């Protein structure tokens, strides 16, 4: 991160709160605590029957369906500009690669994300997220490089978990329409976690996702906790998203 980005990133993250009309519920009335920026994100989505997802999610959460089925997402991306509120991103600690495996749930009228796993290339980020957000983070070897307009992304974790893909944007930027499948899969403003049998929630905020159609070749994907369909998944790309995050609290 260059010097200009060091100062521009916090401004971009905080300014996301200038745009809140698209949210399904108001932003919390307490301060957010962390900012992040997500770059070169690929949404990979598989339709999965609800009865296969249900046993993998705590009973206090309703697993949601769209288009007659449940959905499982795999999202590789790069985290940049990680910082605590009021601070600049720390050099060498604010950027790392990450890959998430998730599904879509709701509780008390607040649709959000349930993570099956989150892999990161930073041991510090893994330990902090496990402690502060009670999320199933794992340390993994993750590489990301550019080859022309393409992103080449490889992730491997002990235990045979791996993901390898090449992807790029393949169309114009758009915001998903309310009610659409794309909106259901991306416009989520909280995450859920479980700690010692207690469900917890953390609110997040960002502008509407700037999505693009994607062209992706997925060579290996053993990250999901269950077998996914062998057909072509639904894929979307997003170049950048600025995010602010609130502390975890009881759901």
CB 191 within 8 A of CB 111: no
Q: What is the pLDDT of residue 18?
A: 97
Q: pLDDT (tens digit, 9 = 90+) per residue, 142-162?
A: 999 999 999 999 999 999 999
Across 107-128, average pLDDT: 96
Q: What is the pLDDT of residue 3?
A: 66
Domain ranges of the chain: 3-20+31-250
Q: What is the pLDDT of residue 202?
A: 98
CATH number belonging to domain 3-20+31-250 = 2.40.400.10
Across 169-177, average pLDDT: 98
Across 215-239, average pLDDT: 94
Q: What is the pLDDT of residue 1?
A: 63
CB 136 within 8 A of CB 118: yes
Per-residue pLDDT for 2 more than 70? no
For residue 93, CA distances in Å to 28, 64, 110, 126, 199 come to: 28, 35, 32, 12, 29
Across 69-97, average pLDDT: 93
For residue 79, CA distances in Å to 26, 30, 67, 109 come to: 26, 24, 31, 29
CB 27 within 8 A of CB 70: no
Q: What is the pLDDT of residue 167?
A: 98
Q: pLDDT (tens digit, 9 = 90+) per residue, 19-73?
A: 999 999 999 999 999 999 999 999 999 999 999 999 999 999 999 999 999 999 9
Higher per-residue confidence, 5 vs 98: 98
Per-residue pLDDT for 7 more than 80? no
Across 151-180, average pLDDT: 97
For residue 150, CA distances in Å to 141, 167, 231, 234 come to: 20, 5, 22, 18
Per-residue pLDDT for 222 more than 90? yes
């Amino acid at each position: 991160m260059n010097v200009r980005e060091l100062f521009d990133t916090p401004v971009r993250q905080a300014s996301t709160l200038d745009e809140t009309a698209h949210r399904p519920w108001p932003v919390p009335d307490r301060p957010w605590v962390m900012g992040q920026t997500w770059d070169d994100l690929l949404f990979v989505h598989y339709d999965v029957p609800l009865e296969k997802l249900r046993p993998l999610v705590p009973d206090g959460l309703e697993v949601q369906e769209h288009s007659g089925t449940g959905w499982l997402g795999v999202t590789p991306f790069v985290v940049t500009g990680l910082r605590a509120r009021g601070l600049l991103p720390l050099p060498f600690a604010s950027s790392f690669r990450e890959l998430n495996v998730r599904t879509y749930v709701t509780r008390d009228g607040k649709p959000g994300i349930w993570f099956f796993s989150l892999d990161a290339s930073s041991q510090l980020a893994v330990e902090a997220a496990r402690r502060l957000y009670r999320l199933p983070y794992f340390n993994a070897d993750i590489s990301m490089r550019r080859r022309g307009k393409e992103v080449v992304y490889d992730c491997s974790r002990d235990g045979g978990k791996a993901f390898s893909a090449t992807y790029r944007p393949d169309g114009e930027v758009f915001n998903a329409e309310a009610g659409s499948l794309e909106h259901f899969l991306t416009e989520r403003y909280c995450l859920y976690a479980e700690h010692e049998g207690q469900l917890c929630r953390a609110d997040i905020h960002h502008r509407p996702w700037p999505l693009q159609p994607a062209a992706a070749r997925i060579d290996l994907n053993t990250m999901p906790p269950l077998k996914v369909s062998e057909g072509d998944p639904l894929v979307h790309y997003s170049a950048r998203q600025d995010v602010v995050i609130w502390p975890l609290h009881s759901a």
